Chain A
Amino acid sequence: MPPYDRIRRTLESGGVVLLDGAMGSELVRRGVRWRGNGLRTSPEEVQALHEEYLAAGADVIRTNTFQLNPRTVLNVFRSREHMRHIGAPDLETRAQDLTRKAVEVALAARERSGREAAIAGVLSPLEHCFRPDLSPPEKEAEAEHAEMAAILAGAGADLLVLESMNTIAEARAAARAASAMHLPIWASFVLGPEGDLLSREKLEDAVRAMESMGVDVVAVNCSPPVDVGAAVKRLRQATKRPIGAYAHVGKFDPPSWKFEFHPQFSATEEWPPEKYRDAAGAWRKAGAAAIGGCCGTGPDHVRALREGMR
C-alpha cells in the first residue's frame, strides 16, 4: 500500500495523523552547524533525528528542506555572474543537490525504522518565512517552487507540504507548482500577531484559496501554541477538509547573521512535552486532524503527543 494511502484513510475516518517535530531548531540545539541545513556536513545527524521522530510515533516525517532553494543562495550575491566569479564551484546546484539528499536521508530513516510512515517533501517561502513583504511575484514564485517540487517528487516524497506560507499568492503559486507532481498537497500558514496570516490576509481567504487548489489538508504552523489554538477554531469554521496544527515553542532567537532563516529558538523549556500535549489535545477537540510540532519541539514532544492520542 502506498505510504500516503494509510494517511488518507485515517483522515477520511476522522482519525488523527501525527506529524514529526522540528528538524532545523532541533539540529541547531544538538550543535549541528547551520550550513546547508546540516545536510552537507552532518547528514547522519539529520537521518538520526528522522529516526527518532519515527520511533516516537510520527506517521508523517517532513524533509529537512525548509528554506532550501536556489534563491537563498543567489540572494547573497550581487548577481549570478558574481556568484560564478567569487562563489564556491557547486553553488548553482547546491540547493537542488541538498534537497535530493534530504529526501534520501528521510527514505533511509524510514527504511531503518521499519515503519510505514509517509514522507512529506517540504516547500517553504522562497524568501525569509517571516518576511511576507519580500515574497516574489506569483509567476516567479511558481517557477521556482516547480523546480523544487519536481526534485522532491522525483526523489521519492509521498506528499508535498507547503509550510510556513506567509502570503496567499505564494501559497497559491506553490500549490499550483506542486499539483503538477500529482502528489497529495498540504498547505500550512504562519500566523501574525493579529491572528491572521503574517501578511495580514484573512485566514478564511487563505483556506478558500487552498480549497480551490485541491489541497488535502490546510494547517497553521510556526506560531505560538495559543495563537495556533485560536486559528484551529477558525479553520474548523472555514472548511470541511481536514485541518492541521503544529506550533512552535519558545522564542525565535536568531543569531547576528544576515543569511537566511536560522532556526534558533530559546526558552523552549516553557513548553515541556506534557504541556504541549495538553495544548494539542485542545486542538484535537477543536477539530485538528494532523498534529505535530514546529520549531522548538523535539522527539519528546512527539512522543508525548502519541501518548496523548492513545
Chain B
Amino acid sequence: MKPYDAIRARLDRGDLVVLDGAIGTEILRRDLSWADHQVLAFPDKIRSIHEDYLRAGADVLSTNTFQLARRCFASHFRDHAHMRHVGAPGLDRKADTLLAAAVNLAKEARSRVGRPAAIAGAVTTLEWCFRPDLAPSPEEMREEYREIMTTMASAGADLILLETVNSIAEAKVGLEAARSAGLPCWVGFVCDEKGRLFTGETLAEAERALAPGKPDAILLNCAPPADAAAGLRELRAARKGPCGIYPHIGRFDPPEWLFTEEFPPDRYLDEARRWREMGAAVIGGCCGTSPDHIARLAGGLAPKKTS
C-alpha cells in the first residue's frame, strides 16, 4: 500500500489527518538562518525537525522546500547572460538538487522514526507568496511547475502540498502539474480577514474552478488563525470534499519570524477543536508553530469523525 492510501482512506471516512507544523520558522527557532533552506549545510538539523514532528504525531510530513524553485536563483540576476557572467556556477540546477535532497531528508526521518507518514512535497507560488501581482505568465508557470513536480515525484514525494497559493490561476496550473506527475495534490490558499484570496477571489470560486482537477483536499494556510478560520467557513460552505487548515502564529519579521506567546500549544488546540467542528479534516500548523503544537493537536483532537 502506498503511504498516501492510508491518508486517503481516513479522509474518505471524515477522520482527522494531522499535518506537521512549520519548517522554515522552526529552523530559525533552532538558531539557524533560513538561507539555502539549510538542506545541504545542516541536513541533520532539518531531518531532526521532521523526526520531531513525526514523534509529535504528524500523519503527513511536508518537505523543507518553501518557495524553492529555479526562479529563486534566477531572480537575483538581470538575465541568463548576467548570471553566467557574475554568478556562481550551477545556480541553474541548484533548486533541483535542493528539492531532491529535501525530499530525501523527510524520507530518512520517516524510516528512522518508523511511523508510516506520507511525505508531502511542499510547493509554493513561483513568485512571492503574498504578491499575486508578481505571478509569472501561465506558460512560464506551467513549465516551471512541471519541472518541480517531476523532481518531487522522482525523489519520492507521496503527494504535493501546494501551499500559500494566492490566486486561482496559479492553483490550477500547480494542480494540473501535480496530476501530470501522477501525484495526489492538496491545495492550500492564503486568505485575508474576510476569507478571500489575495486576488479578491472567493473560496467558492476557487472550489468551482479547481473541481475539474479533483484536488484531494483544499486548505487555508499562512494567515492568522481568525483569518484562516474565516476562509475555512467560506470553503466549507462551497465544498463537500476534504478541507483543512494550518494557520501561522506570531508575526512575520522579514526575512525572519517574530515568535509570540499569543497561541501556546493549549490555546492552539482550543482553536483547532473549533476548526474540527467547522469541518476541517486536515489540521496542522504554518509559520511559528512547533512540534509542541502538533503534539497537542495529535493528542487532543478526536481522531474519528464524531458527527
Q: Do A and B come from one complex?
A: yes
What is the interface of chain A, defined by CB distance below 8 A to chain B? Answer: 33-35, 73, 75-78, 82, 85-89, 91, 128, 130-133, 192-193, 198, 223-224, 248, 251-262, 264, 266-267
Known: A86-B224, A193-B81. Contact between A256 and B33, CB under 8 A?
no
* B88 A252 Cβ-Cβ under 8 A: yes
Asked whether, in the complex, the Cβ of B34 is within 8 Å of the Cβ of A253, the reply is: no
Chain B residues positioned under 8 Å from A133 (CB to CB): 78
Cβ contact within 8 Å between A251 and B78: no
A87 and B76 contacting across the interface, CB-CB below 8 Å: no
Question: How many residues from B make CB contacts under 8 Å with A?
Answer: 43
Closest to A295 in B: B86
Top 3 A-B pairs, shortest CB-CB distance: A255-B35, A253-B88, A88-B253
B94 within 8 A of A: yes
Q: A35-B256, A76-B254 are in contact. Are A130 and B78 (CB under 8 A)?
A: yes
- Bound CA–CA A214/B251 (angstroms): 44
Q: Is the interface of A mostly helix, strand, loop or mixed?
A: loop
Contact between chains at B35 and A34 (CB < 8 Å): yes
Task: State whether A267 and B88 are in contact (beta carbons under 8 Å apart), knowing that A78-B130, A88-B251 are contacts in the complex.
Answer: yes
Closest B residue by C-beta to A88: B253
Question: Which of B34, B89, B98, B248 has the most chain A CB atoms closer than 10 A to its own CB?
Answer: B34
Distance to closest chain A CB from B126 (angstroms): 10
| CB within 8 Å for A255 and B253 given contacts A131-B78, A133-B78, A198-B78 | no
A78 to chain B: closest CB distance in Å?
A: 5
Enumerate chain B residues within 8 angstroms of A77, measured Cβ to Cβ. Answer: 130, 252
Q: Which of A76, A87, A89, A256 contacts B128 (CB 8 A)?
A: A76
Contacting pair A248 B86 (CB below 8 A): yes
Is there an interface contact between B254 and A252, defined as CB atoms closer than 8 Å?
no
How far in angstroms is the closest Cβ of chain B from A16?
26
Assess whether B161 is interfacial by the CB under 8 Å rule. Answer: no
Q: A78-B131, A252-B86 known; A130 and B252 CB under 8 Å?
A: no
Residues B224 and A251 in contact, CB atoms below 8 Å apart: no
Q: CB distance A78 to B198 under 8 Å?
A: yes
Residue in contact with A89 in the complex, picked from B77, B81, B251, CB distance below 8 Å = B251
Task: List 20 additional A-B contacts (Cβ < 8 Å) besides A251-B87, A252-B77, A252-B87.
Answer: A77-B130, A78-B130, A88-B253, A88-B258, A128-B75, A130-B76, A193-B84, A193-B86, A198-B82, A251-B88, A253-B87, A256-B37, A256-B95, A257-B35, A257-B36, A257-B72, A258-B67, A258-B72, A258-B75, A264-B35
| A87 nearest in chain B by CB position | B252
A residues in contact with B223, CB < 8 Å: 86
**B261: shortest Cβ distance to chain A, in Å?**
14
Chain B residue nearest in CB terms to A31: B33
Instruction: State whether A251 touches B89 (Cβ < 8 A).
Output: yes
Interface contacts (Cβ under 8 Å), in number, total 113
Residues of B within 8 A of A252 (CB): 76-77, 86-88
Write 24 A-B pairs (CB below 8 A) sorted by A numbering. Answer: A34-B33, A34-B255, A35-B256, A76-B130, A76-B254, A85-B224, A87-B251, A87-B252, A87-B253, A87-B254, A91-B254, A130-B76, A130-B82, A131-B78, A132-B78, A133-B78, A193-B82, A193-B85, A253-B91, A254-B73, A254-B91, A255-B36, A256-B98, A258-B127
A132 to B37, CA, bound (A): 27
CB distance from A89 to the nearest CB of B (A): 7
- Interchain nearest-CB distance for A53 vs B (Å): 23
List B contacts of A251 (CB < 8 A): 86-89
B67 contact set on A, CB distance < 8 A: 256-258
B203 in the interface, Cβ–Cβ < 8 Å? Answer: no
Report B39 CB to chain A, min CB distance, Å: 8
Residues of B within 8 A of A262 (CB): 35, 76
Q: How far is the CA of A78 from the CA of B164 in the complex (A)?
A: 13
B68 lies within 8 A of chain A by Cβ: yes
Q: Is B266 in the interface zone, CB < 8 Å from A? A: no
Which residues of B sit under 8 angstroms from A193, Cβ to Cβ? Answer: 81-82, 84-86
> With an 8 A cutoff between CB atoms, is B193 at the interface?
yes
A33 to B223 CA separation, bound complex (whole angstroms) = 26
Nearest-neighbour CB distance to chain B for A81, whole angstroms, equals: 9
Distance (Å) between the CB of B22 and the closest chain A CB? 14
Residues of A within 8 A of B224 (CB): 85-86
> B72 and A33: CB pair below 8 A?
no
Interface core residue of B68, B75, B95, B255 (most chain A CB under 10 Å) = B255
Q: Using Cβ atoms and an 8 Å threshold, which residues of chain B touch A223?
A: 86
Q: Contact check, A256 vs B255: say whether CB atoms are below 8 A apart.
A: no
The residues of A that contact B130 with a CB separation of less than 8 Å are: 76-78, 82
Cα distance A108–B289 in the bound complex, in angstroms: 40
CA gap between A130 and B79 in the complex, in Å: 9
Interfacial residues of chain B within 8-43, with CB under 8 A of chain A in the complex: 33-37
B193-A85 in contact (CB<8A): yes
Cα A252 to Cα B84 with chains together (Å): 10
Of chain A, the residue at the smallest CB distance from B98 is A256
Contact: B254 with A73, CB < 8 Å?
Answer: yes
Residues A192 and B72 in contact in the complex (CB < 8 Å), given A34-B35, A85-B193, A88-B253: no
Alpha-carbon separation in the docked complex, A260 to B86 (Å)? 18
Interface readout for B34-67 with A: 1 if CB under 8 Å, 0 if not? 1111000000000000000000000000000001
B198–A256 touching, CB < 8 Å: no
A257 to B128 CA separation, bound complex (whole angstroms): 10
Most buried by A among B81, B84, B130: B130
Inter-chain contacts of A88 with B (CB < 8 A) = 251-253, 258
